[in-house]
A and B are shown apart, each in its own frame.
Chain A
Amino acid sequence: MSKLRVVHYINQFYGGIGGEEHAGHKPECREGIVGPGMAINGAFGDNAEIVGTVICGDSYFNENVEEATKAVLEMVAKLKPDVFIAGPAFNAGRYGMACGAVSKAVAADIGIPVATAMYEENPGVDSFRRDVYILKTGDSAAAMRTAAPALAAFALKLAKGEKLAPEADGYFPRGVRKNVFVEETGAKRAVDMLIKKMKAQPFTTEYAMPQFDNVAPNAPVADITKATVALVTSGGIVPKTNPDRIESSSASKYGTYSIAGVSDLTEASHETAHGGYDPVYANADADRVLPVDVMRELEKEGKIGKLYETFHTTVGNGTSVASSKGFAAEYAQKLVSAGVDAVILTST
């Protein structure tokens, strides 16, 4: 079997170019092994070989992320690697950010296994642990002796598609939830956990609570009688027959439909795709969820400027927060560019 081709990313310091005074160094590509690549390559043995090293100054990278990433990607792609590694960056913040960003870009663009390594307080960990595998290292280059072979071994495991687990393999958890079959029922685990908690003994929760982001409300609409108001719903109201087949739960998309000239949603024209509530009343009169009728009255009475002519809709039932955020980020831009001043967001 031929050796796997590996490309290695390092900064100007480990590239032997110089310290902080050379941090503005632009990306360059060298054939073969440079600096810490030696120890990593040694650990690869006959399995893999570093065929090229990309070097970039930390300041240059972080001040020119887009350009630098593009340049690095081109250099990496030319070398046709099977695997990409970056660092270790230890506790060097800008280096860690660069290792994370290039690793993420290589994974997304070239689609090969990538791995980097750094210390837990490196800002690169928080920024990129969800995107790429980041191995845990000590906080300084003194840890290179253990970090280099660990990175090599991990990269090989990754390339072989072996099963990985954060604790066993020493990487930062990536926030990916995966189901597992276990020895005991959930009920037994719960009672065991409670007994430990009562005795003030250490226990491990099976799901660490996330930190929620809160959105500060916007300032009130200055003059609602002149405002264009849009309707958006997670209540699943769609034109009859659900033309875009929005799922009844875990929606993978949202729909955009015209209500130009429509003053009332009826049993014949609209229905709900939502699988989380009894649909009888929404199907009989979809205005109950998406209040087009009332909005038209307000429009006629001059209480609002006008009702925006299209509405966006999805199903909130079991739909992941990440999907919801993605939908909203997209249609919010559409609403803004269409000159919408305010949105009424209805749920169920």
Chain B
Amino acid sequence: MRLELGNILIKDVQFGANQGVSGGILTVDPAKLREMILEDDRIAGAVVELAKPGESARITPVKDVIEPRVKVECGEMFPGMVGKVATVGEGRTHVLKGVAVVTAGKIVGFQEGIIDMTGPGAEYTPFSKLLNVCLVLEPAEGLKPHEYEAAARMAGLKAAAYIGEFARSVTPDSIEVYETKPLLQQVQQYPNLPKVGYVYMLQTQGLLHDTYVYGVDAKKIVPTILYPTEVMDGAILSGNCVSACDKNTTYHHQNNPIINELYNQHGKELNFVGVIITNENVFLMDKERSSDWSAKLTEYLGLDAVIISQEGFGNPDTDLIMNCKKIERKGVKTVIVTDEYAGRDGMSQSLADADPLADATVTGGNANEVILLPPMQRVIGMLDYTDKIAGGFDGSLRPDGSIEAEIQVITGATNELGFMKISAVEL
């Protein structure tokens, strides 16, 4: 599969009736966007706001972040969700680089995050560097949290596809090409390089902890194989409301940095042959089956080494360690990417499970470390839930609007796809 990503670099975003992209400026009509979102009768109200890097603005409670894109040739946009079911990862996709759609709303109340566009909190989220089109979504009366999640998820994806459409006939500023061939050919292309795969763990811990693969709830899959370019092209979408710091938003999936870095070494130090996706179900039987299968697939593909990434923490630590030790026992070398819950003082053990075979670990940092977020002039969304969100505590929200909380509250802070330049050391 060969994918061309045509990047259109966006310098600014503005509201206006004349929608489109011109000279690096994206113009969006908030009334049209609202109208489209409100077609779904599960959503009673939608406020559209812009948040730009450096502005004194706080977006919360953040549900998802999505990069606006359009399939110019081959396939569908967000297949099985917005578009029809169709295999993606081939042909040309145009990307509005530097822009994101951010959905916000108090879906569960304590499982959404914070994005600060300036100040110390901005250092902990990649989304402070983007031009964000924010949708604050209000549910229809009586809507249950999981129905609200589904409605908000669809609103975000539809908005990203709607805005992405403006990129269709724009000439990209740069084109990146990624290619992985069918397995036997790919192995033969670089016969002298080690065959490397990527074991991609998807958050599937239960209701409101879902991830979708081509529209399928990943709880209901057995581990399977994807071309890396499928992931880059919208095959995997976030549908979860979990602690903000280490959930993978749709943007993270679209721009998975492990896939990018493996492609950077493809044909040089290694032969990147494919992605194994697996889940993080809560029943022991499911954990055993999925980790057995991920290990089996590394063997079946003849891999020499893999990177394993986690999503979430606590319960999925067991899936991470099961995957790691079963794959190592197949003679396949592993590096795991995780984050830590070492307590606010950093003195507790960081993971809920461990094994000596996990001897090569990359950490996204300690999610319990406390940060003081100064007040912002503008709040996009609402602060009612700040004391209750995971990582917050009684008194987190101070009268002046500042927030003292664990970095767990910040969307993407300790991301386990290695998105951030954050680590932790032992002092």
Contacts and interface: CB of A to CB of B under 8 A. Distances in A.
Most buried by B among A173, A186, A187: A186
A186 B364 contact: yes
A188 B261 contact: yes
A165 B425 CA distance: 9
Interface residues of A, number: 56
Contacts of B356: 209
B220 to A, nearest CB: 17
A249 interface: yes
A275 B350 CA distance: 19
A30 interface: no
A278 B146 contact: yes
A191 interface: yes
Contacts of B264: 191
Interface in B328-353: 333, 335, 337-338, 340-353
A207 B350 contact: yes
Interface residues of B, number: 86
B289 interface: no
B362 interface: yes
Main secondary structure of the interface of B (DSSP, over half): loop
Interface stretch (B39-47, B81-89, B222-230, B415-423): B415-423
Given A177-B346, A178-B425, A278-B146, A187 B390 contact: no
B341 A165 contact: no
A176 B363 contact: no
A278 B423 contact: no
Interface string B400-427: 0000001110000001111111111111
Nearest to B414: A179
B261 A191 contact: yes
A316 B421 contact: no
B28 to A, nearest CB: 30
B16 interface: no
B342 A320 contact: yes
A322 B348 contact: yes
Contacts of A191: 258, 261-262, 264-265, 307, 335
Nearest to B207: A278
B305 A181 contact: no
Given A198-B333, A247-B392, A318-B408, A178 B427 contact: yes
Given A182-B422, A190-B335, 12 more contacts: A177-B347, A185-B420, A187-B419, A194-B333, A197-B335, A206-B361, A206-B362, A207-B340, A245-B394, A249-B391, A249-B408, A323-B348
Interface of B: 108, 110-111, 123, 144-146, 194, 196, 205-209, 242-243, 257-258, 260-262, 264-265, 269-270, 304-305, 307, 313-314, 333, 335, 337-338, 340-356, 358-369, 388-394, 406-408, 415-427
